[in-house]
């Protein structure tokens, strides 16, 4: 397996079950992220994509958004040092025009500070939505046609793929979703055309290496013939 993607669902529900404020689940979710990274390093998986914050998540309360963004800022230096030590590169993928102003410096620091990582690339899908990504890519191609840089007849699947926010990243082999829901929730819709899907009932903060190993073992048993 080259690329593992995860929809990290259930942080808030897990916190409620522990008698905590829902937003505190995100802090424990960061611990689960570290476990997922360690698993990928152990398995020599080259790419890990994590659905970190969707465009739809902006509909959540200001208090929760503020807590989540502040959490990223407060943990940034610790994450930077640990990821750099693990030779892990971080890339934020999403609508950068929506990135909160107070997070831009943190995002730049994490990306530039880990750019030398060779063992694993962690893609944090942030301010991300698959439908919005496709619309943005189509608009960029239309603009290229208007500017004379691209002819309409040149547009094909690969050209559109190269215009996506995930350009240069292989499509996910396996997509895991925690939290019990069986849906994609606007996550990598174009890229997931041939991905295997695995759903877990556990909440994201509860995920273990055993959960991830079971999901990957299931993937390894699949016969992926891509329509052939």
The confidence score (pLDDT) of residue 228 equals: 57
Work out the pLDDT band at 157, boundaries 50, 70, 90. very high
Mean pLDDT computed over 208-228: 86
| pLDDT(166) > 70 | yes
Q: What's the pLDDT at 133?
A: 98
Q: Do 219 and 163 form a contact (C-beta atoms < 8 A)?
A: no
pLDDT surpasses 80 at 12: yes
Residue 67 has pLDDT above 70, yes or no: yes
Check residue 227 and give its pLDDT. 63
Report domain extents, the chain. Answer: 3-129+171-220
Note whether 127 and 94 are within 8 A (CB): yes
Cβ-contact 90, 110 below 8 angstroms = yes
Which CATH code fits 3-129+171-220?
3.40.1180.10
Binned at pLDDT 50, 70 and 90, residue 222 comes out as confident
pLDDT > 90 in the chain, percent: 95
224 pLDDT above the threshold of 80:
no
| Reported pTM | 0.95
Would you say 14 and 25 are in contact if contact means Cβ atoms under 8 Å apart? Answer: yes
Residues annotated as catalytic (active site), given as ranges: 9, 57
Burial 5-41 (b: 16+ CB within 10 A, else e): bbbbbbbbbbbeeeeeebbbbbbbbeebbeebbebbe
State pLDDT tens for residues 94-142: 999 999 999 999 999 999 999 999 999 999 999 999 999 999 999 999 9
């Amino acid at each position: 397996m080259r690329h593992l993607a995860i929809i990290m669902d259930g942080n808030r529900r897990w916190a409620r079950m522990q008698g905590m404020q829902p937003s505190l689940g995100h802090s424990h979710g960061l611990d689960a992220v570290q476990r997922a990274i360690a698993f990928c390093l152990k398995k020599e998986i080259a790419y890990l994509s994590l659905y970190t914050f969707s465009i739809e998540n902006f509909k959540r309360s200001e208090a929760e958004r503020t807590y989540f963004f502040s959490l990223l800022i407060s943990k940034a230096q610790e994450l930077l040092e640990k990821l750099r030590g693990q030779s892990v590169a971080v890339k934020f993928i999403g609508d950068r025009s929506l990135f909160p102003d107070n997070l831009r410096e943190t995002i730049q620091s994490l990306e530039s500070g880990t750019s030398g990582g060779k063992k694993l690339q962690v893609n944090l899908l942030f301010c991300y939505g698959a439908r919005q990504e496709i619309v943005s890519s189509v608009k960029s191609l239309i603009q290229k046609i208007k500017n004379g840089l691209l002819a309409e007849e040149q547009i094909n699947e690969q050209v559109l793929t190269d215009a996506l926010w995930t350009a240069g990243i292989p499509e996910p082999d396996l997509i895991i979703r925690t939290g019990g829901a069986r849906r994609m929730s606007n996550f990598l819709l174009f890229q997931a055309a041939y991905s295997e899907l695995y759903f877990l009932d556990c909440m994201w903060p509860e995920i273990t290496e055993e959960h991830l190993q079971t999901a990957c073992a299931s993937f390894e048993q699949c016969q992926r013939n891509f329509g052939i």
